[in-house]
Structure 1
Amino acid sequence: MSYDDEAAMVRITGRVQGVGFRAWTREEAEELGLTGWVRNEPDGSVLALLAGSPASISQMLERFRHGPPGASVSGAERQPATLAGKPVGFRITR
């Protein structure tokens, strides 16, 4: 990660599985120049690790509040994350 980059772990809740949320997240994150990953959680939430500029992470958090068509987001809780190095690309994991 560069000197100005940061990382955040975000848990998104609501109707966020079965609506294309992970693919949408990857597209939005790549558009903002973020790296990291996104995955479905057993409790029905979606968990995302975002790495990049603080401004890009803030923009992604705002986008999470709306989500893709068909989603109904009830919350997007951000937690700090520390990384040994910047992730390469943005991927969907299981």
Structure 2
Amino acid sequence: MKAARFIVRGKVQGVWFRAATREQALNLGLRGEARNLSDGNVRVLAYGDGDALARLQAWLAIGPPLASVSKVIREDIAVDTVPPGFEII
């Protein structure tokens, strides 16, 4: 299992970004969380297969229809406690 932290920049709050991310992540078999940050960005922590993480990253760069993503920053992180599902925080 691998893990990654994504910071998604652009118009990503108030556009159902976290809910759409949760749906996409679950469809890819990933676990983790999506959280709004105080600077207007969204942070996504995702755990799972490396290919699924790459597919999530590609999706994050586009996002749901109402979003306008300007940048996705990925950082591979150590796997620690893996959540049982995918939460919106």
Q: How does the TM-score come out when normalised to structure 2?
A: 0.96
Q: Aligned partners of 1:36 and 1:26: how far apart in 2?
A: 9
Q: Aligned partners of 1:55 and 1:91: how far apart in 2?
A: 21
1:81 shift after superposition:
1.4
- Is residue 19 from structure 1 mapped to residue 8 from structure 2 by the alignment? no
Amino acid at match of 1:7: A
Q: State the identity %.
A: 42
Q: Give the alignment's Cα RMSD to 1 decimal.
A: 0.8
1:85 shift after superposition:
3.2
- Is residue 6 from structure 1 mapped to residue 2 from structure 2 by the alignment? yes
How many pairs does the alignment contain? Answer: 89
Residues 1-94 of structure 1: matches in 2 within 5 Å?
5-93=1-89
Runs of 5+ in structure 1 lacking a partner?
Answer: none
CA deviation vs aligned residue, 1:28-76 (integer Å, no higher than 9, x gap): 0000000000000000000000000000000000000110011000001
Runs of 5+ in structure 2 lacking a partner?
Answer: none
1:23 shift after superposition:
0.2
Larger Rg, first or second structure (1 or 2):
1
